Amino acid sequence: MYILGIWDGHDSGAAIVSDGRVLAAVNEERLSRRKLEVEFPERAITACLDLVGARPVDINHIAVSTADFSKTLTRIFPKLKEEYYQIRRRKKAPGFASQIKKAAKYKLTEIGPSGITRYLSERVVRKRLGLPGFQDFRISFFDHHECHAAAAAFGSGFDECAVLTLDGIGDGLSGTVSVFKNGAIRRLHAISGKSSLGIFFEHVTNLMNMRELEDEGKVMALATYAYPIPDSENPLLDFFKIEGVDVRAKYGALGMYQELKKVFWRYPSEQFAWLAQRMFELKVAELVTNVMETTGQRRLALAGGAFSNIKTN
């Protein structure tokens, strides 16, 4: 049985799996030639089918990630996604309502999935897949962080381990804590999207006039050009509190941006990057320590955009 996996958000792509093996995986940007493509991955799907030697009618099951409110909205109105892509990648100047739209984006992404959003998302995806000749297939939607956890756990080579996911936000969450054992993943805790370490770093990137969801690594690198500051003098350390395996933010996504803006004004860019990187490293390390103690595991699998931060790893 062939299973087609689809992601149609930023850095969209597709994969085909059979009997637990990945037979093909292609990111849409490789074919559209637009970095971090956001369009529905039609080219990637076709490429995966060609690599496997399968036809659309051979696909029995289609797996799609994320069915939260904001993702469903951009599926129904793809122009919203395209406009954000154009502005974020500096291809289009922000308009009069851009700040309002940005504020709405952060609030709407905190709304998790529901029966209605899953129904609407499935209708849109089925319509898109009806064009190349797919038929008689079953479609399933999977939680954003469940997908992250599965990629980390099943790709780790461990028999059992703790699994930690951290990123900006997906399906209303910014992270999860799970245990992988006997071939199954059991979630122990979900971290609210309102307390997102990923969105914190996204804000820092944006404030320095870099492209969020893309240039966070440059912020990490820029931090190495600054002089260290004692933790007692780092104004960003109280932005988050680690409570066991949970993360608590002092400010909401919009309030956090405004508070970061005030701090940024007081420091040169490289120093601001250092403050943010130091905060991020300390809080993530504290969370990981608590996860290991709570689960009693000796091995750890990590996934999500936050762990693209190499220095933190």
> Can you give the pLDDT at residue 97?
79
Asked if residues 162 and 295 have their Cβ atoms less than 8 Å apart, the reply is: yes
User: What distance in Å separates the CA atoms of residue 305 and residue 209, rounded to the nearest whole number?
Assistant: 20
Give pLDDT tens digits for 196-207: 999 999 999 999
Phi, psi of 260 (to 5 degrees): -65, -35
User: What distance in Å separates the CA atoms of residue 171 and residue 180, rounded to the nearest whole number?
Assistant: 21
What interhelical angle do 98-108 and 69-76 show, nearest 10?
130
Specify the 3-state DSSP secondary structure of 206.
helix
> Can you give the pLDDT at residue 38?
96
> Can you give the pLDDT at residue 220?
97
> Can you give the pLDDT at residue 130?
81
- The rounded percent of the chain whose pLDDT value lies above 90 is 90
**What is the distance between the terminal CA atoms of the chain, rounded to a whole angstrom?**
37
Give pLDDT tens digits for 18-58: 998 999 999 999 999 999 999 999 999 999 999 999 999 99
Whether 132 has a pLDDT exceeding 80, the answer reads: no
> Can you give the pLDDT at residue 135?
87
> Can you give the pLDDT at residue 289?
98
Whether 303 has a pLDDT exceeding 90, the answer reads: yes
> Can you give the pLDDT at residue 242?
98
Whether 114 has a pLDDT exceeding 90, the answer reads: yes
> Can you give the pLDDT at residue 99?
82
Q: Work out whether strand 59-65 and strand 138-142 pair parallel, antiparallel, or are unpaired.
A: parallel
Vertex 12: Cα angle to 288 and 208 (nearest 5): 60
Residue indicated by tokens 């029966």: 115
> Which is nearest to 18 in space by CA: 69, 59, 79?
59
The model scores a pTM over 0.75: yes
Asked if residues 226 and 277 have their Cβ atoms less than 8 Å apart, the reply is: no
Asked if residues 205 and 211 have their Cβ atoms less than 8 Å apart, the reply is: yes
More confident residue, 129 or 279: 279
Per-residue confidence at 96, pLDDT binned at 50, 70, 90? confident
Sorted by sequence, the CB contacts under 8 Å of residue 222 that are 6+ apart come out as 208, 269, 270, 273
Give pLDDT tens digits for 197-241: 999 999 999 999 999 999 999 999 999 999 999 999 999 999 999
